[in-house]
Each structure stands twice: as C-alpha cells, then as structure tokens.
Structure 1
Amino acid sequence: MVFFGAGILPGGQAAQAADKPSAVQGKTFTIGTDTTFAPFEFRDSSGNLVGIDMDLIRAIAKDQGFNVEIKSLGFSAALQALSSNQVDGVIAGMSITDKRKQVYDFSEPYFDSGVQMAVAKNDNTTKGYDDLRGKTVAAKTGSEGETYAKSIADKYGFTVKSLDQSATMYELVKSGNAVAVFDDYPVLAYGIAQNNGLKTVTDKVPGASYGFAVNKGQNPDLLAAFNDGLAKLKANGGYQKILDTYLKAPQNTAPSSFWDLLAQSMPALLSGLGNTLLVTAISFLFAMLLGLLFGFLKVSQNIVLRGVATTFVNVFRGTPLLVQAFFFYFGIPQLTGQPINIWVAGVLTLSLNSGAYVTEIVRGGIQSVDPGQLEASRSLGLSYLTSMRRVVIPQAFKIMTPSLINQLVILLKDSSLLLAIGFAELLYQGQQIYAGNFRVAETLLIVGVMYFVVIMLLTKLANIVDKRFNK
C-alpha cells in the first residue's frame, strides 16, 4: 500500500498512482527557511545548511522528482518573501495556527511541537513558573514558545521579551537580562546538548504542529507533492531516521576551543567577507555617480533641478536603510509581480542610501570653494562648465575626500544590515555559525576583528590615495 496525503489507496490504484508522473516532476522551487533554528535548520561546521526541515524537504523533493533552492532568510523575512512571491514555500518549524491558515495553505503536519522553559545552568532559584513573578523571560518571535509564554504571563506576573533568534535568547538569559526562556522543546534539547549554558526546569507542554506552507490558493501541486512525499517517508522509515539523526541523543558537535572555532568558521566568514567587500565596492561606485549627478543639481540655478535633487536626498536620507532594504527586496515584487535578485536589492539599497549622503558631500564641497574662484575664471573668458571642471571641481574634490572616505567606511558597515533580507555578508555568516554551536560571544568577536582589520586597511589605503592625488 502507498500513502497519499488524504488516505490509503487500494493496491491496484496505488500502483497506477505511483506510475503516474508527478505534476511537479522536473520543476525547481525556491524554499524559504529560518537561519537560526537548530536542529530544524542550521549550518554545520562545513557551512552546509542541514537540519530536520532541510533533510525532510530534500528527501521529499528527491522522491517526488523536483528540485529545491533553499533561501536561508530568517523566519519573519521568509514569510515576507513568501507573501511577495520571492519564494514558493516556507519550511521553518512553522506552527500551523488558525490565524496563519487565513493567509497560507499548510501541508499535513510533519512534527508535533511542545514548549519548555529553561534557565541558566547556574540558576538554582528559578524552578518553575511561580518563580517568574516580576521578572522578564525571552521567547522567539512568532513561535509556540512566545504564544504559550504570553498566555500565562498575566497569571504568573512576568514580562515577555520577544527576539528573532534562539541563540540571542539564550545569551539574554545567560547574561542575566532575562531569567528564563520559553522555546520549542527539540530546539532547547539540541542547544543544551551543544552546551548553550541552559537547563530545562519544566515538563513539555503540548503545542501546535509544524507544517510546510505556501501562499493561499497557490502552488497546490507543490503542496500535494509534499504531502505525498511525507506519507511515503513515514511509511518507509525515512522520516523517523531523519528525526533520530538530530533528536535521539544529539551529540555535542560544537568546537572544543576558540582556535577550533576560528579554524572551522574561517571559510564561511571569508566567503561572507568577500560578499561584503564586493557589494560595498559596487554600491560605492553607483553612490558616487548618483552623488555627483544630484550634487551638481543641488547647486544648479534651475529651481526644478534643485527640487529633484532635494527630494532624492530627503527620501533616502530621511528613511531607515533597513526599511529601504525590505522595500526593494519584498515590496517591489509585491507591487510589480516580479521577483528581484537579492544582489540587485542589496546594491539598490546601499547605492541610493549612500548616494543621498554623497550628494550632500558634493554640494558642500562645491559651495566651500571661494565664489571668487569661479568669478575670476569666468572673467578670463572660460565658460561656466569649463570653469567648474578646471577650477572649482579640483579644489572641491580635495575638500570632499575625507568625507568620502568616511562615507565608504560607513557604507561597508551598513552592508551588515542586509542580513535582514538574507544577503550572505560577513555578519550573516557569523549568525549562521553561532546558530549551530551557540558560541555567540566568540563568533561575534571574530567577526568584529575582521571588520576592524578590513576597515583599518581600507582607511589607510584611501588616505594613501588621497595624499598621492591631492598633493
């Protein structure tokens, strides 16, 4: 007998159904997922995205004959990507709730969750919910842990602080800024096995089930294929094998020392650093072109041109860069119906935002040149454009150079905000690493040192160029 989502088909019908080509066979689907939800999705020491969700979707894809492209975005960003059709489906330990059913279509449940409370390993006073009165607890945004914690918060008199990452929540507890954390029990069990510094103090409370989600009314063939593949995996033992890999006595695979962590992390961090430098270089080039264009418009004698430049500056300097990143990557596809490449979204965000600041640098540099310089050159018979190009601009560029170097450094650091849309820059790679091994402080120290070294080298190089060309 072969299992098909809704039930069991008789032998003859099952054979015919098994021989019938799948409607998704040969197709490629983009699947969004979280970045920090071990053991459901995380990166191993080699940088590969693994976990229950990842093994499950890949096994189902193989069985059903379709291909998957995984986008590790973060839970909230993955849902936004789904809503904007940047991805075809989401698998991220996502609880099936009545509210979400209004927006998404869910597969059959593939995991029955539950919630536990954990405290710092050295905390011997917090032993249950009664000890939480007047204190703060942490929970992950959109999770069953958050839902359950809020449901009992008034009864036990505690405050819930919601965060986006499990690893960050655990650090909050260990640092004493929260007394406990509410999280899904398999996530806690895996983290404790990796020495995340916590211990559970309550029994598991039954929670909602996890499901694979697609937009409501869309991709029914993909949803049907997931259900079919899931049923087959459960029937042949493959499903249980995947669960046992991560949940049955999980082994501590975290690096044993700082140097082991450094060695294991460096390939992924260098890859992220390369992306950071590349997106910074491309964005700064476009920012300079935009800044020069709108900078000249701002000192134009034409009121319309000045108004266009002023509007550009006000819009992109007056809104947060993170909002711009979300708009370009998630908003534009919803407005146009066309997905946008994450590199394009990243470069657009950084270029336009930085271009607004470069515009003001250019305007300030030009206006800092003594007006008498322009008047003198015009009196000698030079045209306005020639006077600007040969007399004003060279002097203005010397004035602008320190500010442009500073803007380049700011742009490089601002690129870290692109992790919110899943861009694989340096800090994003750091998050991927500590999501699996829970070595948050040490990983961030390595990332910080790498940023510091690169920025110092970049600043020195820029200063050398400045001295050479602005003697």
Structure 2
Amino acid sequence: MNLDFSQIVPYTPFMLKGIWATLEFVIFSIIIGLVLGTLLALCKITKVSFLKWIANAYTSIFRGTPLILQLMIIYYAIPQLTGYDIPIFLSAVLTFGLNSAAYVSEIIRAGIMAVDKGQMEAAEALGVPYRPMMLNIILPQAIKNILPALLNEFITLTKESAIVSTIGYLDLMRRAQIVGADIYRNFEPLLLAGAIYWIMVFILTKIGQAIERRLRQGD
C-alpha cells in the first residue's frame, strides 16, 4: 500500500482548525433549528388552520428536497434574484438551520402529542393561559421524551456539515481536500478528517447520553 502519513503532519494544525470552523456554524444552525422548529411544532398543533398549513408546507418542502440543493439555492440562486451576495458562513447557517427546523418540528410535535392530554385539559380547566401551559408544563415533559431523537438530529447535522465544502467554506472536509490537492495524496488527509469526524460524533454521543441520564435521575 502506497501510504505515507508523514506528509500530512505539517498540515495537521491547518486541518485541526477545521474542527472549530465546523462546530461554529453547526452550533448556530442548531440554535436556529431548535427555535424555529419549536415554533413550527406549535403551529402544527394549533387550531388555526392557516398556521398549520404553513408549518406543514414548510416541513414538506425542506424534508422533500436535497440538503445540497437548498445550500446551492441560498448561496448561488438567491443572490441572482436579490443582487446581494450572501457570505459563505451565513449561507451555511441558514441552510442547515432552516433544514434542521423541519425535522426538529416533527420531533417536537410528536413529543407534545405523546404528553398525556389530561394534563393539558387540567391546565385549561384551571385557567392557565396557552403560552405558560406550553412553556412550563407541556414542553418540558416533551423535551425529556424526545431528547434522544433531538440529539440524533444534531449528530446527523454535524456529519452532514461536510456538504458546505462544496461552496468553499473552510470546514474540516474542505481543509482535507486542500491538503490532498497540495500534496497530491488524498487518502491520508481524508482518513484523518474521517477520524476527527468520528471523534466529534463520539464525544457528542457521550455528552448526550450523560444529559439523558441526568434528566432521568431528576424524574
């Protein structure tokens, strides 16, 4: 086998910087996905048919089209219509945040529907307004039930973040490609990138499991 990992040693610091570059936009995307996904989930269970239709249409569009297509539309197509060039980082955050929101909304909706309806009826009977009831009674219970699914969505988001390399964002994957082109060897930098992705996902999985155990102990 024609392998020589010594050649990528000088490039290791350059590639390691891709970890923060990756996590930076993933964290912002997760925040957008959580906030917007929660709002969409609430719209899906509301009695207002117009809001329900908008939320369902949004979810259908973002779940029914490829993520890379959404990224290309935001980075390349929208500037064509608006005349404004969207920065690479902002394009990545918007694409992944909006896409994640569609999946998060379904996860949260399922969690809310799984909460005993008697609790909602009891809160309504006591005169608790809808917003405090959702924030203080229903959502906390739903989050506990759907935490594993949410963590899995965030882990998937971290892995799929490599797609942003297609628009030139200097994430871990893009840096591995640059190193491969510079030394005319692709296997070694790509293998290193794969190992780093695996370590990140492994750490996130362990953190998620620890949080899940903590919440269960608090029951």
Match of 1:295 in 2: 41
**Match 1:353 to one of 84, 93, 99:** 99
Match of 1:110 in 2: none
2:13 equivalent to 1:271: no
How far did residue 372 of structure 1 move?
1.6
| In structure 2, distance between residues paired with 1:274 and 1:384 | 40
**Match 1:366 to one of 89, 92, 112:** 112
| In structure 1, distance between residues paired with 2:27 and 2:136 | 28
Unaligned runs of 5+ in 2: none
Match of 2:60 in 1: 314
| In structure 2, distance between residues paired with 1:266 and 1:415 | 20
How far did residue 389 of structure 1 move?
2.5
8 Å CA contact 1:369–1:392 kept in 2: the answer is: yes
| In structure 1, distance between residues paired with 2:72 and 2:127 | 51
| In structure 1, distance between residues paired with 2:122 and 2:100 | 34
RMSD of the alignment, in Å? 1.8
Match of 1:235 in 2: none
| In structure 2, distance between residues paired with 1:287 and 1:413 | 16
Match of 2:137 in 1: 391
Match of 1:426 in 2: 172
Unaligned runs of 5+ in 1: 1-173, 175-196, 198-255
Q: Which has the larger radius of gyration?
A: 1
| In structure 2, distance between residues paired with 1:383 and 1:336 | 42
Match of 1:459 in 2: 205
The one-letter code of the counterpart of 1:257 is D
**Match 1:323 to one of 50, 55, 69:** 69
SS in 2 for 1:301: coil
How far did residue 400 of structure 1 move?
1.5
How far did residue 262 of structure 1 move?
4.2
8 Å CA contact 2:7–2:183 kept in 1: the answer is: no
Match of 2:185 in 1: 439
Where does 1:30-49 land on structure 2 (aligned, <5 Å)?
none
| In structure 2, distance between residues paired with 1:384 and 1:465 | 28
The one-letter code of the counterpart of 1:454 is M
Match of 1:380 in 2: 126
Match of 1:257 in 2: 4
TM-score (norm 1): 0.44
The one-letter code of the counterpart of 1:416 is A
8 Å CA contact 1:369–1:395 kept in 2: the answer is: yes
Alpha-carbon deviations, 1:399-448, whole Å to 9, x = none? 11111100110111111001111111111111111112232222221111
The one-letter code of the counterpart of 1:354 is S
Bigger drift between 390-399 and 401-410 goes to 390-399
How far did residue 395 of structure 1 move?
1.1
Q: Could you tell me the percent identity over the aligned residues?
A: 36
How far did residue 382 of structure 1 move?
2.5
Higher relative contact order (CA 8 A, sep 6+): 2
| In structure 2, distance between residues paired with 1:263 and 1:449 | 15
Query: CA 1:450/1:280 → structure 2, altered by over 3 Å: closer, same or farther?
Result: same
Where does 1:192-341 land on structure 2 (aligned, <5 Å)?
257-258=4-5, 260-341=6-87
8 Å CA contact 1:262–1:446 kept in 2: the answer is: no
Q: Pick the structure with more strand per residue.
A: 1
| In structure 1, distance between residues paired with 2:130 and 2:75 | 42
| In structure 2, distance between residues paired with 1:382 and 1:337 | 48
| In structure 1, distance between residues paired with 2:24 and 2:135 | 30
TM-score (norm 2): 0.93
